[in-house]
Amino acid sequence: MNADDSNILARGRVATRLPAQDLDRARRFYADQLGLEPVDERPGGLLYRCGDTEFALFKSTGASPGTFTQMGWAVDDLEIVVSELKQRGVMFEEVDAPGFRTNGGIAEIEGNYASKGARGERAAWFRDSEGNLLGIGEPVV
């Protein structure tokens, strides 16, 4: 028996939910800036699929604090993805803090989860039209 067999949640799939005060504005941002179209929708919600994962935007009267990464993508070539998204009008966060600095929107982060077999990660962050802070990461092997 492996560890996942004894935990009901470990056998489930994780799906992110992001708030949107203006769902039409969010739909346009995700289509125009990120090139993503919903695969399904319901009143007050849009469902997106990326690879074998999904996330939903839902109509919310509350605003996202945008003070932490709410969702992230793992990519094979961060520079290409960042470059393409910049061409689509995505504005990347610039950070200059002790031990953490971005250059051209990309940060070099020491350490990584041992199970990923990497020694670090390169990462970039941007905000969607609703203030949600989204990240993109590439393992450094």
Region for 104 from its dihedrals, namely left if φ exceeds 0, alpha if ψ lies in -120 to 50, beta otherwise: left
Tell me the C-alpha distance between 102 and 114, whole Å.
Answer: 24
pTM given for the model:
0.88
How far are the Cα atoms of 15, 114, 117, 137 from residue 110, in angstroms, in the given order? 27, 12, 13, 13
pLDDT tens track for 35-74: 999 999 999 999 999 999 999 999 999 888 888 999 999 9
Phi, psi of 122 (to 5 degrees): -105, 140
Spatial neighbors of 56 by CB under 8 A, at least 6 apart, are: 15, 16, 17, 18, 45, 46, 47, 48
pLDDT digits (tens, 9 = 90+) for 14-37: 889 999 999 999 999 999 999 999
